[in-house]
């Protein structure tokens, strides 16, 4: 009997050890359950944020904390467009890398950088090409939105146009698209800027318009009453960046920008829906399921248009489907993505004075509104607590990795006739008690806001963050250095001078069995605005080059 009990105990112990070892192995590979598989990339980088959950996280771990110091350039590609720097996110499918620069699209061999094909868009007469944040790939096509409000589908093999449609009449509305399209099932969805922002879905096969949602409601539509008089006609509400998508709920989430004029609210009394809002739209119909307005009646030029990370996390003892946005206002908003209910709002920057706080109902407490014709110090400034650069989320650590900018501005406001289209003028300034502005990259619990570690930096961190199963967090700085930190400690492990400032979004992928990290480089005019506070900014180099790294061949 005793031998039998010992045998049973041995088998149970062996089984437990096996399961623990299997779990440990899975964790090393970043395999932490079904949502991790939906939120993480593998060999490809198939969409703008990696996946439609917007984590910017890869399951790849061939490059890791143990060997990152051996990382070397493998190849680079110059786009030839140097006006605004390379700010787009590459897409990789089956070893082919698709890259946009301005309104050009390139298909490159992911292992060598060899040009497979190039497409050059010709804008309508009078229009110019402009900043473009990337493409979408699927259904045998590459999709791009253009600065003159067109959506174009190209054949993935040849780069030839399959179809091209006008999202709007550029000559009358001066509308345009700069965000990367979002592919959802058989629809390609784009955010369009203009007098009234809009989110539109087109049939991916034919280009036919399927549905459209205006971010500024017109007469007779719910929310129009939140605009005084006819101010809705030029309400703005631009959907600056790409949305996220939950396939289980079949909801598309899109962030909306600020009102017009940005700083002067006297002519647009009301909460100004749906500016400064997160929208949940039915993917099939475009109907509004719910909205959450972060900043009613914005007078500081804060956008809610930034990326939205979708994750399932435990809150007060139960699992909830969450949406987390680190917004331009310097606050993170944690929402229930099924209902739009506010779970928590917390500041992720150190210097905030536009409000004294946000309560549990989401109400702004102690608004510090600029006074007409007087100088008011506002923190964060209108570059924001973060800008176009995107955060990342690792399911291995459970932390978000967030670039935060500590900069304020001296703001003076008044009627547009006196102060221009924004209704104000501003000069960037240091936060109170600091000699100059600065930034930091933080590891943050995305639900509670608790900071786990911080990496300080003397200038602005304006490139997106990449996190991997190799326990790496990677990004670049305006001085030209692309660098890697330990995801668990924040210790700097490696850096490389890329030759130009970093403003784009790095990715990682596999080609020919080898892991690559692709880094868009090239500074931008937005960064040049900061020369008044950092004279060094005048030396940060422009350019438009994709620099691609890999381990030496013998390290595969």
| pLDDT tens-digit readout, 183-235 | 999 999 999 999 999 999 999 999 999 999 999 999 999 999 999 999 999 99
Mean pLDDT of 315-330: 96
Task: Please tell me the predicted confidence (pLDDT) of residue 556.
Answer: 54
**Count of structural domains within the chain:** 1
- Say which range, 11-20, 177-186, 197-206, has the weakest mean pLDDT: 11-20
The single-letter DSSP state of residue 176 is B
Which whole number is the average pLDDT over 136-143? 97
Residue 29 scores a pLDDT above 60: no
Residue 473 lies in a domain: yes
Within a domain: 285: no
What pLDDT was estimated at residue 10?
44
What is the pLDDT, as a whole number, of residue 173? 86
Q: Does residue 142 lie in a domain region?
A: no
Give which of 379, 225, 384 is closest to 304, Cα–Cα.
384
pLDDT value of position 528? 61
Give the residues across from 439 on adjacent strands: 405, 457
Q: Which range has the worst mean pLDDT, 32-36, 77-81, 236-240, 544-548?
A: 32-36
* 455 occurs within a structural domain: no
Cα-to-chain-centroid distance, residue 209: 25
Q: Is 416 buried (19+), middle (13-18) or exposed (0-12) by CB count in 10 A?
A: middle
Which residue among the candidates 258, 301, 303, 477 is catalytic per the annotation? Answer: 301
Per-residue confidence (pLDDT) for residue 12, from 0 to 100: 45
- In the predicted model, is pLDDT for residue 11 greater than 50? no
Average of per-residue pLDDT across 8-13: 44
pLDDT digits (tens, 9 = 90+) for 471-481: 999 999 999 99
Confidence of residue 529 (pLDDT cuts 50, 70, 90): confident
Domain membership of residue 472 (yes or no) is yes
* Per-residue confidence band for 525, with pLDDT thresholds at 50, 70 and 90: low
Asked about 301 being catalytic, the answer comes back as yes
What is this structure's pTM? 0.93
Cis, bond preceding 380 (omega within 30 deg of 0): yes
Q: Which two tokens stand for residue 307?
A: 């990326």
- Of the candidate ranges 9-23, 102-116, 235-249, 467-481, the one whose mean pLDDT is the lowest: 9-23
Q: Considering only CA atoms, which of 455, 404, 450 is closest in space to residue 431?
A: 404
**Of the candidates 109, 177, 103, 98, the residue with the CA atom closest to the CA atom of residue 141:** 98
Query: Residue 56 falls within a domain, yes or no?
Result: yes
Q: Is the pLDDT of residue 1 over 50?
A: no
Print the domain residue range for 59.
Answer: 47-89+388-400+460-556
State the Cα–Cα distance between residues 109 and 434, nearest whole angstrom: 47
């Amino acid at each position: 009997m005793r031998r039998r009990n010992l045998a049973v105990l041995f088998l149970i112990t062996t089984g437990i050890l096996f399961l623990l070892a299997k779990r440990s192995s899975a964790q090393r590979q970043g395999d932490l359950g079904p949502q991790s598989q939906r939120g993480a990339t593998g060999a490809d980088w198939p969409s703008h944020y990696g996946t439609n959950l917007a984590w910017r996280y890869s399951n790849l771990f061939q490059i890791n904390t143990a060997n990152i110091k051996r990382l070397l350039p493998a190849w680079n590609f110059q786009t030839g467009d140097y006006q605004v720097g390379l700010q787009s996110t590459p897409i990789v499918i089956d070893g082919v890398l698709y890259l946009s620069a301005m309104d050009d699209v390139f298909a490159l061999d992911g292992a060598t950088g060899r040009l497979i094909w190039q497409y050059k868009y010709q804008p309508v007469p009078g229009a110019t090409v402009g900043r473009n944040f990337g493409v979408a790939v699927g259904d045998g096509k590459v999709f791009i939105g253009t600065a003159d409000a067109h959506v174009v589908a190209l054949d993935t093999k040849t780069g030839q146009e399959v179809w091209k449609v006008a999202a709007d009449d550029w000559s009358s509305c001066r509308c345009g698209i700069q965000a990367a399209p979002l592919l959802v099932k058989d629809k390609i969805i784009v955010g369009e800027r203009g007098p009234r922002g809009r989110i539109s879905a087109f049939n991916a096969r034919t280009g036919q318009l399927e549905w459209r949602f205006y971010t500024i409601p017109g007469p007779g539509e719910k929310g129009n009453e939140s605009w005084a008089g006819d101010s809705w006609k030029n309400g703005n509400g631009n959907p600056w960046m790409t949305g996220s998508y939950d396939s289980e709920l079949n909801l598309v989430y899109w962030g909306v920008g600020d009102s017009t004029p940005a700083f002067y609210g006297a002519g647009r009394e009301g909460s100004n829906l749906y500016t400064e809002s997160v929208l949940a739209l039915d993917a099939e119909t475009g109907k509004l399921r719910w909205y959450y307005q972060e900043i009613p009646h914005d007078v500081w030029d804060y956008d809610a248009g930034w990326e939205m990370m979708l994750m399932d996390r435990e809150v007060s003892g139960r699992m909830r489907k969450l949406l987390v946005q680190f917004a331009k206002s310097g606050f993170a908003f944690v929402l229930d993505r099924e209902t739009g209910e506010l779970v928590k709002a917390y500041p992720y920057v150190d210097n905030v004075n536009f409000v004294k706080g946000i309560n549990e109902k989401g109400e702004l407490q102690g608004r510090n509104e600029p006074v007409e014709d007087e100088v008011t110090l506002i923190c964060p400034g209108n570059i924001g607590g973060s800008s176009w650069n995107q955060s990342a989320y690792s399911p291995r650590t459970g932390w978000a990795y967030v670039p935060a900018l500590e900069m304020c501005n001296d703001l003076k406001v008044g009627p547009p006739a006196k102060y221009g289209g924004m209704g104000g003028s501003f000069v960037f300034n240091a936060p109170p008690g600091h000699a100059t502005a600065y930034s930091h990259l933080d590891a943050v619990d995305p639900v509670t806001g608790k900071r786990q570690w911080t990496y300080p930096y003397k200038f602005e961190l304006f490139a997106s963050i990449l996190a991997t199963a190799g326990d790496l967090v990677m990004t670049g700085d305006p001085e030209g250095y692309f660098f890697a930190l330990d995801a668990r400690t924040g210790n700097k492990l490696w850096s490389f001078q890329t030759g130009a400032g970093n403003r784009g979004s790095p990715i990682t992928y596999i080609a020919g069995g080898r892991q690559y990290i692709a880094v868009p480089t090239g500074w931008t005019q937005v960064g040049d605005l900061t020369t008044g506070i950092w004279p060094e900014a005048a030396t940060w180099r422009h350019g438009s080059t994709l620099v691609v790294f890999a381990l030496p061949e013998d390290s595969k």
